[in-house]
């Protein structure tokens, strides 16, 4: 049977690439899929394919292209150490530049055409989705357990698109007061904030010990409803 998703790595700029997944219709609204600290690894590519099957043209930019192009890391030991080092070295200025390039490339794709684009990000990628909402002109943004958003609230006034946030009820990296500060900065008129009481950080990733299927399914359904309403 023919694979309904067409996928390829494409060049975004010299040395900078991204994983592109096209939906069965080969056209639709765009999604910038923002990686965790582990690179555009097998899990992120599978999430891209998942959103492609949902009808979106998905581009997952390789954000660590300067230090470790196409790096794929696991979730423990030396891989975790390398992932944290890559995240620490990756500056907000680099991120905003990379996101801007990826957004322009995605909007210019013939498969997107005149359709809208949004962004979805996980962990570090949640913070990237926040930057995209503030600086890249996306039409909707979804941030899953976005680490560091509460330390970058100076961008809140620049967010012009609706946002949806998903947080774990038990998160050693994002305390409840951080969630409260994001909620207050955005207000109910500009953002939905969902907290999953039984979940831990990384609950959407089925390759991690913190995976929580019930929370992941509920969050994905909410994200799809949100993105369908804002982008189609």
| Distance of alpha carbon 112 from alpha carbon 209, whole angstroms | 36
Catalytic residue, candidates 98, 171, 200, 220? 171
8 Å CB contact between 45 and 28: no
Lookup: tokens for 130: 């926040």
| Distance of alpha carbon 49 from alpha carbon 67, whole angstroms | 26
| Distance of alpha carbon 12 from alpha carbon 105, whole angstroms | 7
pLDDT of residue 68: 98
Give all domains of the chain, ordered by start, each with its CATH number.
6-231 (3.40.50.1820)
**Mean pLDDT, range 69-92, rounded to an integer:** 98
Per DSSP, what are the bridge partners of residue 22? 6
Question: Is 201 marked active-site?
Answer: yes
| Distance of alpha carbon 117 from alpha carbon 25, whole angstroms | 17
Banded model confidence at residue 60, pLDDT cuts 50, 70, 90? very high
Collapsed DSSP state (helix, strand, coil) of residue 117: strand
pLDDT of residue 2: 87
Question: Is 171 marked active-site?
Answer: yes
**Mean pLDDT, range 102-117, rounded to an integer:** 98
**Mean pLDDT, range 60-64, rounded to an integer:** 98
Catalytic residue, candidates 49, 123, 150, 212? 123
Question: Is 161 marked active-site?
Answer: no
Residue 1 has pLDDT above 90, yes or no: no
Residue 188 has pLDDT above 90, yes or no: yes
Banded model confidence at residue 211, pLDDT cuts 50, 70, 90? very high
Residue 74 has pLDDT above 80, yes or no: yes
Residue 35 has pLDDT above 80, yes or no: yes
| Distance of alpha carbon 91 from alpha carbon 84, whole angstroms | 13
Residue range 128-186, pLDDT digits in tens: 999 999 999 999 999 999 999 999 999 999 999 999 999 999 999 999 999 999 999 99
Q: Hey, what long-range contacts does 195-199 have (CB within 8 A, 24 or more apart)?
A: 195/167, 195/168, 195/169, 196/166, 196/167, 196/168, 196/169, 197/169, 198/169, 198/170, 199/168, 199/169, 199/170
Percent with pLDDT over 90 in the chain: 99
Banded model confidence at residue 23, pLDDT cuts 50, 70, 90? very high
| Distance of alpha carbon 140 from alpha carbon 116, whole angstroms | 9
pLDDT of residue 62: 98
Q: Hey, what long-range contacts does 12-16 have (CB within 8 A, 24 or more apart)?
A: 12/61, 12/101, 12/102, 12/105, 13/101, 15/65, 15/66, 15/69, 16/61, 16/62, 16/65, 16/98, 16/101
Banded model confidence at residue 193, pLDDT cuts 50, 70, 90? very high
| Distance of alpha carbon 193 from alpha carbon 167, whole angstroms | 8
**Mean pLDDT of the residues in the chain:** 97
pLDDT of residue 90: 98
8 Å CB contact between 119 and 31: yes
Catalytic residue, candidates 43, 166, 201, 212? 201
Per DSSP, what are the bridge partners of residue 31? 58, 118
């Amino acid at each position: 049977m023919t694979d309904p998703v067409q996928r390829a790595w494409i060049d975004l700029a010299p040395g900078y690439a991204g994983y592109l997944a096209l939906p069965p219709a080969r056209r639709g609204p765009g999604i910038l899929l923002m990686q965790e600290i582990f690179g555009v690894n097998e899990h992120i590519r599978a999430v891209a394919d998942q959103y492609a099957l949902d009808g979106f043209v998905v581009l997952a930019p390789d954000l660590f292209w300067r230090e470790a192009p196409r790096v794929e890391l696991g979730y423990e030991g030396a891989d975790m150490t390398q992932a944290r080092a890559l995240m620490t070295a990756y500056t907000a200025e680099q991120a905003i530049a990379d996101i801007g390039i990826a957004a322009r490339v995605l909007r210019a794709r013939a498969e997107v055409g005149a359709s809208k684009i949004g962004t979805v990000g996980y962990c570090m990628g949640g913070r990237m989705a926040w930057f995209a909402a503030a600086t890249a002109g996306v039409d909707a943004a979804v941030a899953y357990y976005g680490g560091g958003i509460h330390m970058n609230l100076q961008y809140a006034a620049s967010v012009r698109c609706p946002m949806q946030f998903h947080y774990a009820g038990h998160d050693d990296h994002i305390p409840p007061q951080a969630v409260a500060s994001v909620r207050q900065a955005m207000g109910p008129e500009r953002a939905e904030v969902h907290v999953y009481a039984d979940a831990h950080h990384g609950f959407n990733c089925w390759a991690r010990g913190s995976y929580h299927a019930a929370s992941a399914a509920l969050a994905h359904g909410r994200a799809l409803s949100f993105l369908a309403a804002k982008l189609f």
